[in-house]
């Protein structure tokens, strides 16, 4: 599974537009960036809480995340812009999506073009096919060969999340916060890059991570990147673990 989100030159700008996405009504409603798909409510907690020892918790979390079959995600950026293209024309605001690990995925990326135009970039992946929104027609069409964007790369449980958790250092249990365990630790730059589809690229970084106290699933991750030139704050929210998402080829998709 790719962990890169890269586009180049004119191909990137051709792939975006301020038009509606021709996704099914259900998909568009689920992923609309007009509101939070997950919110920040605490997960329901039933069962015996895990041992609060940080090392044991992170070991349980790595094992739990490696076995995830489906999830809904939100990636939020605040502060200094982070660009998705070499020419620094397209800045990420936030992304929402759904992933079936052994199936498909869909996502909406809210972006800012040239610091002025706010718009959305939509993608759907099923099997070997990936569709991207056409800026002229609004129809999701087969992904051009010049563009590398696969919504499945936003959530790689065994290849990204499990290694990130195993490699955390200096873990400290801060508290049980809203029925979740809250820990701080230091994550590798490579680990954070992997769990953010290659968008975050930096050095080892201090993080805050929330775990479900019974299942050990990650429910939230927060960290900052940058230095004297300005900082960027990141949050990743995960939920709806094990849900059955219907990822379908969009109605009217060209190809």
Q: In total, how many domains does the chain have? A: 1
**Does 70 map to a domain?**
yes
Determine the pLDDT at residue 128: 85
Q: Report pLDDT digits (tens) over 4-31.
A: 344 443 344 444 333 333 344 334 445 5
**What is the number of other CB atoms lying within 10 angstroms of the CB of residue 60?**
19
Does residue 27 form part of some domain?
yes
Asked if residue 103 is part of any domain, the answer here is yes
**How high is the mean pLDDT of the chain?**
82
- Whether residue 250 lies inside any domain: the answer is no
Is the separation of the CB atoms in 222 and 237 below 8 Å?
no
Q: Looking at residue 253, what is its pLDDT? A: 57
The percent of residues above 70 in pLDDT, for the chain, comes to 79
The residue segments making up the domain with residue 147 are 9-31+50-239
Please indicate, yes or no, if residue 224 is contained in any of the structural domains: yes
Q: Over the chain, what HEC string results? A: CCCCCECCHHHHHHCCCCCCCCCCHHHHHHHCCCCCCCCCCCCCCCCCCCCCCHHHHHHHHHHHHHCCCEEEEEEEEEECCCECCCCCCEEEEEEEEEEECCCCEEEEEEEEECCCEEEEEEEEEECCEEEEECCCCCCEEECCCCCECCHHHHCCHHHHHHHHHHHCEEEEEEEECCCCEEEEEEECHHHHHHHCCCCCCCCCEEEEEEECCCCCCEEEEEEEEEECCEEEEEEEEEECCCCCCCCCCCCCCCC
Span 102-127, pLDDT tens digits:
889 999 989 888 888 888 878 899 98
**44 in a structural domain:** no
Report pLDDT for 60: 98
**CATH number of 78's domain:** 2.50.20.20
Q: Is residue 43 part of a domain?
A: no
Answer whether residue 36 is part of any domain: no
């Amino acid at each position: 599974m790719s962990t890169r989100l890269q586009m180049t030159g004119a191909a990137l700008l051709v792939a975006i537009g301020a038009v509606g996405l021709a996704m099914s009504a259900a998909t568009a409603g689920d992923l609309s960036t007009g509101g939070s798909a997950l919110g920040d409510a605490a997960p329901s907690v039933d069962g015996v809480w895990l041992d609060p020892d940080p090392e044991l918790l992170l070991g349980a979390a790595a094992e739990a995340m490696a076995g995830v079959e489906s999830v809904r995600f939100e990636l939020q950026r605040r502060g200094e812009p982070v660009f998705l293209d070499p020419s620094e024309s397209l800045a990420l605001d936030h992304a929402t999506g759904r992933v079936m690990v052994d199936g498909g995925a869909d996502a909406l990326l809210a972006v800012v073009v040239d610091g002025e135009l706010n718009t959305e970039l939509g993608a759907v992946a099923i099997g070997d096919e990936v569709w991207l929104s056409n800026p002229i027609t609004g129809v999701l069409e087969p992904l051009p060969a010049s563009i590398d964007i696969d919504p499945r790369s936003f959530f790689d449980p065994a290849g990204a999340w499990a290694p990130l958790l195993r490699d955390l250092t200096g873990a400290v249990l801060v508290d049980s916060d809203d029925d979740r365990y809250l820990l701080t630790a230091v994550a590798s730059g490579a680990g954070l890059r992997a769990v953010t589809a290659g968008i975050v690229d930096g050095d080892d970084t201090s993080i805050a991570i929330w775990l479900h106290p019974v299942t050990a699933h990650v429910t939230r991750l927060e960290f900052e990147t940058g230095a004297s030139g300005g900082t960027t704050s990141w949050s990743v929210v995960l939920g709806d673990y094990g849900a059955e998402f219907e990822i379908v080829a969009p109605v009217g998709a060209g190809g």
